[in-house]
């Protein structure tokens, strides 16, 4: 296989992985900031929006102490980890999340 064929295949694989991640958020926002937004949302990798229900954000803010609302980043992302074994899931983020 020539070097250009390998580069083409590798490039296709990278693009496929990008497509698999389009639905994930580009950034996450602190709970306190989302509380202030009229329509709480974050942008996805492909530029779309993940909309959050204002009522759910408000309810979460009642549970989370005020001094921690800058530390909780939303959305919370749960990731299945095949490298750790069957049925293993982790939460992406800091220890608080």
∠ CA 60-64-93 to the nearest 5 degrees? 85
- Which pLDDT score is estimated for 9? 82
74 and 28 Cβ atoms separated by less than 8 Å: yes
> Cβ atoms within 10 A of the Cβ of 21, count?
10
- Residue spans of the domains in the chain: they are 3-92
- Which pLDDT score is estimated for 51? 97
> Could you say which residues of the chain have pLDDT below 50?
none
- Which pLDDT score is estimated for 63? 96
52 and 29 Cβ atoms separated by less than 8 Å: no
- Which pLDDT score is estimated for 58? 97
Q: Which pair of tokens denotes residue 11?
A: 């490039």
């Amino acid at each position: 296989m020539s070097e250009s064929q390998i580069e083409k295949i590798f490039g296709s694989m990278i693009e496929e992985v990008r497509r698999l991640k389009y639905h994930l958020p580009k950034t996450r926002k602190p709970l306190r900031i989302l509380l202030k937004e009229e329509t709480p949302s974050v942008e996805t990798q492909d530029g779309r929006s993940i909309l959050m229900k204002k009522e759910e954000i408000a309810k979460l803010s009642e549970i989370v102490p005020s001094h921690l609302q800058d530390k909780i980043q939303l959305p919370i992302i749960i990731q299945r980890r095949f490298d750790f074994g069957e049925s293993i899931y982790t939460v992406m983020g800091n220890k608080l999340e």
